[in-house]
Amino acid sequence: MISTSRQLSDQEIKMVSDFYDWIRDDWLDISTDANGRNPGMLNFGYWKADTTNLCDAQIALIDKIFGWLQLPRTSNQPVGLEVGCGIGGAAVHLVRKMKVQLFCLDIVYKQLAIARERVIQEGVDNCIFFQQGDGRCMPFASNAFDFSYCIESSFHYQDVPSFLSENLRVLKPGATAIIADITCKAPEAVRFRNGNFFYDFEVMQDWLKQVGFEIVALERIGSQVFSPLYAYQLAINTPGREKLRRYWRLVLKNYTELAAAGLMGYDIFVVRKPATHRSESTANGHGDGHPEA
């Protein structure tokens, strides 16, 4: 076992919370399309050749990710887990796309409060449930979920194997997990590294295998993320947010250059908990079978 299951410290939680407090409103503004449609997400998006705005790119990204979900054939409604749910937009999109129940975990209280308000407004609060907690020490029972996904959240963890081990533990045998995030071969070349712990694509594969996952598929989409998002950021202007706009332009210029040099990617890892695997029932003091221990 290579996991340490160390929870985020109060200082680390504050750092993550402060960052999202700083960028949230601006990101929501630039992901609202000309018709006022906003998907309620903070991700970088997946930019197809004809994509012209961040709203469509964000929806395209989660549709691509959800296309990898393999739900069990059962008479019961599948129960899933989103790790790092943010402000709830992806969860709303999923429950409208598939008939599932979804538990959403996030470390930031304010993100959860916004997400709860959104699912109530969208009328799907009967099938989406929220829990504050750390993805490296999850407050859920072992063998509880039929699937899980994590979008642009795992880079907040300095010890990613802890998150992977916990993800494996809470999944039922045979369940699918999807992790979509930025990867980097040269983290030292990344600007504004505070709170960002990007991992190497190949190292991530090794970690997944070491904790016990089976790799089902790998999809590399960096060419349809960094460069088009950078171009979009250069083309827009938000009066009164010049410092934030400058920050994003510096960040995305850096990411685009690293991607062009083959040092940064945006990757989707589709993995499965082996059908014969049984999590430790005593892990984190939780028993088996129920999402809420």
Among 202-211, 234-243, 256-265, 284-293, where is mean pLDDT lowest?
284-293
Asked if residue 241 lies in contact with residue 136, where contact means CB atoms within 8 angstroms, the answer is: no
The whole-number average pLDDT for the span 191-211 is 93
What structural domains and CATH numbers belong to the chain? 10-274 (3.40.50.150)
In the predicted structure, residue 127 carries a pLDDT above the cut 50: yes
CA angle 212, 181, 15 (to 5 degrees): 105
C-beta atoms surrounding 1 within 10 Å: 10
Distance CA 247, CA 27 (A): 12
pLDDT in tens, 133-163: 999 999 999 999 999 999 999 998 888 999 9
- 48: nearest Cα among 33, 63, 29: 63
Distance CA 67, CA 166 (A): 23
User: 3-state DSSP call for residue 24?
Assistant: helix
Residue-by-residue DSSP string for 150-166: EES-GGG-S-HHHHHHH
Asked if residue 133 lies in contact with residue 139, where contact means CB atoms within 8 angstroms, the answer is: yes
What share of the chain in percent tops pLDDT 70?
Answer: 91
What pLDDT is recorded for position 76? 84
User: 3-state DSSP call for residue 34?
Assistant: coil
What share of the chain in percent tops pLDDT 90?
Answer: 78
What pLDDT is recorded for position 73? 80
pLDDT in tens, 207-256: 999 999 999 999 999 999 999 999 999 998 777 778 888 999 999 999 99
What pLDDT is recorded for position 281? 45
Residue-averaged pLDDT of the chain = 91
pTM: predicted TM-score of the whole model, two decimal places:
0.91
Among 8-17, 73-82, 88-97, 244-253, where is mean pLDDT lowest?
8-17
pLDDT interval class at 195 (50, 70, 90): confident
What pLDDT is recorded for position 154? 92
Whole-angstrom Cα Rg for the chain: 18
What pLDDT is recorded for position 282? 38
